[in-house]
Amino acid sequence: MRWAGTYFDGETARAHRVEVEIGTGALGIYGRAGQMAVWDYETLRRVPGTSREPGMIEVTEAFGTDARLRLEERGAVRALRAAHPKVDKRRPANRSAVARALGWTGAAIGAMAFIVLVAIPALAPQIAAMIPQEREVALGGQVEDLIESVGLIGPTCTGAAGRAALDKMTAKLTDGLDLRIPVRADVVQADLINAVALPGGRVLIFEPLLKQANSADEIAGVLGHEIGHVQIGHPMEGAVRSSASAGVIGLFFGDFMGAGVMAGFAEQFMNASHTREAEREADTFAIARMTAANAGTDDMADFFVRMRDQHGEGGLFGGYMASHPSFSEREATLRRGSVGDGAEPVLTDAEWQALKRICDSAADEADADGAAD
Amino acid sequence: MTDAFLNEPRASDDIVPADTYKPRRSHKRPPLDTGFARVLFAEDRQRQVADSLQGVILKGGILSLLTLTIYRFWMKTAQRRLIWRETRLDGDGFEYTGTPLELLIGSMIAIVILAVWFGFANLGLSYLQLAAWQNFDLSIFLFPVILSPLVAFAVYRARRYKLLRTKWRGIRFAMDGSAVRYAGHWVLWTVVQILSLGLLTPHKKMALERVMTNHMLYGDARFQFDPPEGALRHLTAHWMLPWLTAMVLFALMLFGFYQADGFSGGFFASLEQQAEATGEDALALKLQAIFGMAVVPLVLVYPFYLRYKSREIAMVLSSRRLLNARCESRLTWGATFKPLTAYCGYWLLLVVPVSIALGLVMFMAFSGAMMIDGKDMSVFGGDVQPQLFDSLPAKIAVYAGLYFFYGGMVLFSLWLAGLIYFRRLHTFICRGTVVHNLVSLNQVRQRVRDDQIESEGFADALDIGGF
């Protein structure tokens, strides 16, 4: 029995109408001028990726060859599968291609890791150091405007007595220190318990941090930590590092839709260890300054204990993902650094109360006084 | 079998039955003498092909989400194999012979090069923007400018890879020439385009297509770029309306930008009152209003841009010649308009139910996590933050919920783009295109084997999608 087929010889682009004889060990292809080819079942296979619908099959003499034969009759397809059950067998995995794929994937991850974890962090401080001070101050202003425009922080607080207390605290912590850039600390209205150091020596203490603090020493510890960031130059380094690594990690996720979110996650993951290291440096700096000012760091340690009890250690992967060292680790560091019994409070009680009320307007202050009377 | 079967005619046999191909509108071109062969995409079994495509997209999308997107190379290959084999010229399907591993290797090689390049380029750029130029915003424009020639390079490489991995009637396509030189052409033409304020956009398109087409091969035969008479005039005529609208809008915006402070009549007076009442910046409000107003004409002119686009695709296809065989494409407006309408329609129809369904699952995950940890909503003050959960099961539940929502949205977008938009676009382009004198391809012979090539990795890494 002969079946109708279409044959492409792999040499020319002509389509041949042929008759096909499905034998026991081989398949014969016959055209108008007689036999055109005989394909052995040993190597004959369905063309990878072609349709598997019942009434059609496209086969090739062997993987990697160009000639094709198409059968389009149900009976022919059934006869071929009966005579040659292995026709649908897949092409075996190309081991050398798999090895090369693994090798290049490793190289790609290595290159990205080298750039993001080694090259950029090594060069970022050099570049940050080359940036003129007035430029750094201007950039800090831009960042401050940005976080204010997205509603993270509100207006700066201006209570005069509180201002004086904050200045005294800053002066105590920076006394005898050769500052890289003048420190300008302020309290701002906000919803979160936080404090940040921006480029240009700008330190912002979020008001809720003051509200929940039990003593001036807690705030002094935080302020010392932020001044540490300023003095070591972390904010500027961070700005250079993040703008330089932008897009590098995104390459790996390619053109898959929504890859940006994955890249953002991965970037956070890779940067977390740097930020944690920076936080440790700032903690060490804070302890040194507190000790120099003869102030204790136990209160700040208590603060971290309180944060841990209220909010947990934070982060799905705990230490790996978090941008800060764990509260417990920071508590331990601060306990080690404490001056102990000889410590003096950074501010007097009156100054501390004034600082706590720095965000209340003058009228409110008068009201509060009136109510007290 | 009878001789009658062996002698049954097909277009490539040069004996063509009268056909019913009648495009609704056409631009002027000389009538063609001999018969033509049709290019068809799944016309006889649209439903089955749509179902297969949907299966490939959903399976591929889910596996990509579960494998840090690595499965995307397998997904893309499966998608191409399906689209290639269901696209038939003169009854014979195309064959895609590329493999996922080739795509993966190409992409990884590109990443090695680009990671180093991006890293150092970015560092230099940050120095320039932070220290030298004193202007942080400049980088927003500078980075795309630096990147854009690379995109042109990647586009050329991607087409080369696809051609080298495509067969028709057992004969391989190919592409020679240099992607770097193509990128050079692209840069020059982009300068021309900008200097002409966009007027010469059709000229740029045709010139760049000429470079690519003249380097395309089928077997031992070389494609030639041979546009129909008056092609550029035809395209420019269709380009005028969208271009003029854009230009007028641009001029008005520019005028508005510098003069907005002085606008105080009618509508703008009410804005000034509003600004006074709320303490907002009056000028900012006016500029916002001017931008808002510009959207209306842009939306109105968009269908005309799509009409130009369909003409552009048709003209590029109609300019391709291989020996004596030539494409003729007469796409109607609907070829670009209908797929986009379908895309927008399905999006509008489904985005709310899909978000609600996914949101419900996410809500269930969050509720479960809260039960595990014994917390209630008051802890979060309305804003649920995953890092506030304590136990590992609760955290896993929350992140799984978030990922489920995100992944569901990605799948929805993939489905819309692949099944709703691209499938229709491809169907319409094929339907509007025929090949004349296909018989002349009977003399094409196979080329000697082409060199090993490292696929289209740059296109993937640079986020240039498509098939």
CB contact under 8 A, B95 and A50: yes
Q: Are residues A66 and A10 in contact, defined by beta-carbon separation less than 8 angstroms? A: yes
Confidence grade of residue B453 (pLDDT, cut at 50, 70, 90): low
Separation in Å, CA of B376 to nearest CA in chain A: 14
Classify A127 as helix, strand or coil: helix
Q: How many residues does chain B have?
A: 467
| Rounded-to-integer distance, Cα A334 and Cα A290, Å | 10
pLDDT one digit per residue (tens) for chain A, 373 residues: 789 999 999 999 998 999 999 988 899 999 888 899 999 999 999 998 887 777 889 999 988 889 999 998 899 999 999 999 999 888 888 888 899 999 999 999 999 889 888 888 888 888 888 888 888 888 888 888 888 877 778 888 888 888 899 999 999 888 888 888 888 999 998 887 788 888 888 899 988 888 888 888 888 888 998 999 999 888 888 888 877 777 777 777 776 666 666 677 676 666 666 777 888 888 888 888 888 888 877 887 887 777 777 655 544 344 444 567 777 777 777 777 666 666 778 888 888 888 888 888 655 555 544 444 4
CB pairs under 8 A between A and B: 221
CA geometry: angle A195, A200, A201, nearest 5 deg: 50
Q: Among residues B155, B152, B174, which one has the least CA distance to residue B163?
A: B174
Asked if B5 is an interface residue toward chain A (Cβ–Cβ < 8 A), one would say yes
Q: Are residues A17 and A31 in contact, defined by beta-carbon separation less than 8 angstroms? A: yes
CB contact under 8 A, A68 and B170: yes
Give mean pLDDT, residues B72-80.
Answer: 93
Closest residue of A to B126, CA-based? A240
pLDDT tens digits, residue range B114-156? 888 888 887 887 777 776 655 555 656 676 777 788 889 989 9
Interface of B with A in 139-158 (CB under 8 A): 139, 143
Separation in Å, CA of B294 to nearest CA in chain A: 25
Q: Domain count for chain B, please give it.
A: 1
Look at residue B363 and tell me if it is in a domain. no
Q: Among residues B289, B221, B206, B280, which one has the least CA distance to residue B253?
A: B289
Separation in Å, CA of B464 to nearest CA in chain A: 6
**pLDDT, averaged across chain B:** 82
Q: Which of A11, A94, A138 sits opposite B445 (nearest CB)?
A: A11
Closest residue of B to A316, CA-based? B395
Look at residue B153 and tell me if it is in a domain. no
Please report, for residues A262, B372, B373, B387, B405, the alpha-carbon distance to residue B397 in angstroms, rounded to integers and kept in the order given.
19, 9, 11, 12, 12
Does the model's pTM come out above 0.95? no
Q: Are residues A24 and A41 in contact, defined by beta-carbon separation less than 8 angstroms? A: no
Q: Which of A6, A124, A255 sits opposite B463 (nearest CB)?
A: A255
Confidence grade of residue B466 (pLDDT, cut at 50, 70, 90): very low
Torsion angle, alpha carbons of B385, B387, B390, B391, to 10: 100
Separation in Å, CA of B197 to nearest CA in chain A: 30
Instruction: State the pLDDT at residue B134.
Output: 55
Q: Among residues B119, B121, B107, which one has the least CA distance to residue B149?
A: B121
Look at residue B417 and tell me if it is in a domain. no
Say whether pLDDT at B17 is over 60.
no
Separation in Å, CA of A16 to nearest CA in chain B: 8
CB contact under 8 A, B120 and A119: yes
Q: Residue A167 burial by CB count (10 A; 0-12/13-18/19+): exposed, middle or buried?
A: exposed
Look at residue B21 and tell me if it is in a domain. no
Q: Are residues A44 and A67 in contact, defined by beta-carbon separation less than 8 angstroms? A: no
Instruction: State the pLDDT at residue B138.
Output: 60
Look at residue B333 and tell me if it is in a domain. no
Interface of B with A in 374-403 (CB under 8 A): 386-390, 395-396, 399
B67-87: b or e for each residue (b if 16 or more CB lie within 10 Å)? eebbbbbbbbbbbbbbbbbbb
Separation in Å, CA of A49 to nearest CA in chain B: 6
- Which of A14, A320, A327 is best to mutate for the B interface (most B CBs within 10 A)? A14
Structure tokens at B107: 């992409």
Q: How far apart are the first and last CA of chain A?
A: 114
Interface of B with A in 417-446 (CB under 8 A): 417, 441-446
Amino acid in position A346: V
Given CA atoms B69, B75, B77, B83 in this order, what sign does their dihedral have?
A: negative
All domains in chain A, ordered by first residue = 2-88 (2.30.29.30), 128-372 (no CATH)
| Rounded-to-integer distance, Cα B323 and Cα B90, Å | 17
| Rounded-to-integer distance, Cα A296 and Cα A293, Å | 9
Q: Which of B110, B119, B127 sits opposite A115 (nearest CB)?
A: B119
Chain A neighbors of B77, CB-CB under 8 A: 49
Confidence grade of residue B462 (pLDDT, cut at 50, 70, 90): low
Closest residue of A to B121, CA-based? A244
Q: Which of B111, B119, B446 sits opposite A120 (nearest CB)?
A: B119
Closest residue of A to B7, CA-based? A17
Instruction: State the pLDDT at residue B182.
Output: 95
Say what percent of chain B tops pLDDT 90. Answer: 40
Say what percent of chain B tops pLDDT 70. Answer: 80
Please report, for residues A102, B46, B114, B154, the alpha-carbon distance to residue A254 in angstroms, rounded to integers and kept in the order given.
17, 31, 12, 13
| Rounded-to-integer distance, Cα B140 and Cα A264, Å | 19
Look at residue B307 and tell me if it is in a domain. yes
CB contact under 8 A, B85 and A261: no
> For residue B212, how many other CB atoms are within 10 A of its CB?
20
Structure tokens at B158: 């991607």
Please state the three-class secondary structure of B227-252 as a single string: CCCCHHHHHHHHHHHHHHHHHHHHHH
CB contact under 8 A, A255 and B171: no
Say whether pLDDT at B460 is over 80.
no
Q: Which of B12, B110, B387 sits opposite A15 (nearest CB)?
A: B12
Give mean pLDDT, residues B288-317.
Answer: 87
Structure tokens at B461: 């890494």
Q: Edge-to-edge strand order for the sheet containing A184-190?
A: A153-156, A184-190, A202-206, A195-198
Least confidently predicted of A36-40, A167-171, B20-24, B51-55: B20-24
Chain A neighbors of B408, CB-CB under 8 A: none
B226-238: b or e for each residue (b if 16 or more CB lie within 10 Å)? ebbeebbebbbeb
Instruction: State the pLDDT at residue B197.
Output: 93
Give mean pLDDT, residues B39-50.
Answer: 87
Chain B neighbors of A114, CB-CB under 8 A: 115
Asked if B370 is an interface residue toward chain A (Cβ–Cβ < 8 A), one would say no
Chain A neighbors of B99, CB-CB under 8 A: 94, 97
Separation in Å, CA of B178 to nearest CA in chain A: 24
Confidence grade of residue B20 (pLDDT, cut at 50, 70, 90): very low
Beta carbons within 8 Å of B138's beta carbon, 6+ residues apart: B128, B129
Place of tokens 């201007």: A138
Asked if B465 is an interface residue toward chain A (Cβ–Cβ < 8 A), one would say yes
Look at residue B259 and tell me if it is in a domain. yes
| Rounded-to-integer distance, Cα A225 and Cα A67, Å | 73
CB contact under 8 A, B126 and A240: yes
Instruction: State the pLDDT at residue B355.
Output: 93
Chain B neighbors of A116, CB-CB under 8 A: 119
- Which of A137, A149, A255, A268 is best to mutate for the B interface (most B CBs within 10 A)? A255
- Which of B111, B114, B138, B413 is best to mutate for the A interface (most A CBs within 10 A)? B111
Chain A neighbors of B134, CB-CB under 8 A: 135, 138
Q: Which of B101, B446, B465 sits opposite A66 (nearest CB)?
A: B446
Q: What is the DSSP string of A149-204?
A: HTTSEEEEP--HHHHHHHHHHHHHHHTT---SS--EEEEEEESSS-EEEETTTEEE
Residues spanned by the domain of B296 = 251-318
Q: Which of A68, A239, A243 sits opposite B122 (nearest CB)?
A: A243
Residue B327: phi and psi, rounded to 5, are: -80, 150
Amino acid in position A219: I
Look at residue B281 and tell me if it is in a domain. yes
Beta carbons within 8 Å of A64's beta carbon, 6+ residues apart: none
CB contact under 8 A, A8 and B169: yes
Interface of B with A in 325-354 (CB under 8 A): none
